[in-house]
Amino acid sequence: MQPARPGDPKQVGPYRIVGRLGSGGMGTVHAGLDRTGLRVAVKIVHPAQAEDSEFRARFRREIQLSARVQGPCLIPLLAADPDADTPWLATAYTPGFTLDQHLAVYGPLSGGALHAFASGTAQALAGIHAAGIVHRDVKPQNVILTPAGPRMLDFGIAHAADGTSVTRTGVMTGTPGWISPEHYRTGTAGPEGDMFAWGALVAYAATGRLPFGTGAPDAVAYRVMSEEPDLHGLPDELHELVERAVAKEPSDRPVASDAVAECVALLSAQTTQVVSPGSNPTLISDLVAGQWHVPVPDDPAWPRPVRPLRGRVVTAAVAFAAVAVLGGLAAYAAVAGPGDTNLAREAPASSSRPSDDISRRSAPPTTATTDLATPMTPEPPVDPRTIRVPTDPLVGVPHPAYSRAGDEAQPHPDEWWTSTTADGTEEREAEQAIRHHMNSMLATKDMDFMEPTITFNLRAQTVIVTGGPVPQLPDDHQEVFRQAGQMAACTALAHRLKNKPTTWPYGRFSIHWKTSDAEAPAISYGEATGGCFGEIAGQWHGAEAGMATAEFPSSDKAEIRVADAAVKAITATWNANTTETNADPIGTGDGISLGFDPVENAAYVWTDDPRGRFTSRASQSNLVGAVEEAVCRELVEEFSNNRGWNYTRWAVAVYDPYTDGRRFIGSGTCTS
């Protein structure tokens, strides 16, 4: 780890930054610590790329695709925020030399370690390819020799900046010596190209030489396309496999899964020579570990930062997902195991809600975030492995029925025109689930008069939710409908993609608003493979759309009662706890309001601040504290007594005189 430099962030998401691990073409990799001291590698993209909307879209898509990758010899991603001002992602930190660093100091691999290297890297590529991803940059700098075995890094994300193997100007990207013949000829970068580079990688690990030599890039390119590789010194048992892998024709190369099988057979033969009968390991990770004996660099503990005194100490434990990717000098690759540590409150046996209804959740410990001064910086989560990132329900599915994952094309009008009503049990159940979710949400805003129309377009693999036309309906009704439709459709589709990934073909949804009987423009669209939660790195932050919904008056008696009690409790808590303002306590004229967003189960507190009460950092800090204490008390009490109560989140916003609008200053989740 290198020291942090002036201008480096002090904190990214839930991680405190304590130094640097390296930098590359896409960004800088920082050393980070969670609250318990667990070390992570945090990659922050360069500002120039962060300003490119196309880059952000590709970055987000690569994160979603990488969620499908799982298996040994890959490193889990812990959190990511592609929509931050400066996008970032974080992976587990694993010490070790890169392959080229190891060869420079210790020389080539041999014996069991070489077979373990070949097996592990082939298995990593097999996992990547099974998820429909191409690495595109297999090379020694992207393989770390960790104490537990080789780990392949930097797939997908490294090329998010240009999206393909060839830039828009036609300039070839990649590293000479690791580019396949077809890549040179046509710019094609498929799984076969990865296997070509894998063959060269194994040869390099065994001999310390690049099989097509070094020198000027055009000279190397000529040898790759026209000459035979130099495989002298490669062990006989690997020679034939590697020779096939570096064949000129892509069709002559083995696929990654076949290479794994052959390498594991060789590795198993090595293992049986050194273990007692009956104790042979069978998992690839065990086989690799059994033969893996390579030096590792000194890895001293990272210094923990000095923490300032805090006015309010809060903790978090959110939901769980492990995915994958990171790049540059430090690391990123992938393994996924999405889940949710929140425990669903079971509905009674007589409940008529569909099996995939949005579950009641017992909330995690109270957590708050804020953009105020350092004392209000949130505590990182107790365990970053429990951070929820957008998770893909198709993770680990080799051949899902839904094939449009990552397709960001906007809905075409013909998709609405040609969609049809539910056909068959599966579609009818999905329709009922979406309708049930939406009706429950719309009813709280006295909008149960609006019955959504649910249709299906199999060719577009899209479920379409349509509302309107309603004469003289205000725009805020449309916003409530949009939010309800988006959350209901996304949740229902994600449930089915997860449970029936090889047969359920619908993964996209679009929300439409009829302007006439003949037209219904799309007002929202998305796909269920990108996650259905408004969270960033495990922390829900609130949103303008949710605020707009909360401002719409509720017709639910329980919501009206709790809102009234909560506003009074906020006022009382402020006046009791904020000694510096006791001479001028909050009153009804301070304009504090509270409303509910049933889409994300959140209570929003806001003030238009007519007296300028909440313009200072200290007053905003105190307001967040009062809201956290008072609102959570009211929400938890209702949650305990009312089985139909779903609200466990809160967010608070104040008037911002600089923008003449509102700014969120804190948010969190309540628990008993």
Closest of 161, 162, 154 to residue 133, by C-alpha:
154
Beta bridge partners of residue 565, listed in sequence order: none
Closest of 323, 377, 330, 295 to residue 78, by C-alpha:
323
Cα 298 to Cα 294: distance, rounded to the nearest angstrom: 13
Residue 137 is a catalytic residue: yes
Cα 480 to Cα 598: distance, rounded to the nearest angstrom: 9
Query: Residue 232 contacts by C-beta under 8 Å, 6 or more apart in sequence?
Result: 207
Closest of 25, 169, 66 to residue 396, by C-alpha:
66
Strands 39-45 and 27-33: antiparallel
Cα 81 to Cα 30: distance, rounded to the nearest angstrom: 15
Q: Are the CB atoms for 90 and 326 separated by under 8 Å?
A: yes
- Position of tokens 């996209």? 508
Residues 222, 227, 233, 238, CA torsion sign: positive
Q: Specify the DSSP class assigned to residue 151.
A: E
Residue 22 backbone class (left: φ over 0; alpha: ψ -120 to 50; beta: rest): left
Query: Residue 588 contacts by C-beta under 8 Å, 6 or more apart in sequence?
Result: none
From 81, 137, 154, 609, the catalytic residue: 137
Residue by residue, DSSP assigns 556-603 as -HHHHHHHHHHHHHHHHHHHHH-GGGTTS---GGG-EEEEEETTTTEE
Residue by residue, DSSP assigns 429-455 as HHHHHHHHHHHHHHHTTT-TT---EEE
Cα 527 to Cα 513: distance, rounded to the nearest angstrom: 18
Q: Are the CB atoms for 384 and 14 separated by under 8 Å?
A: yes
**Residue 76 Cα distances to 160, 194, 286, 447, angstroms:** 19, 21, 18, 44
Half-sphere exposure of 64 (CA within 13 A, CB side): 20
Active site residues: 137
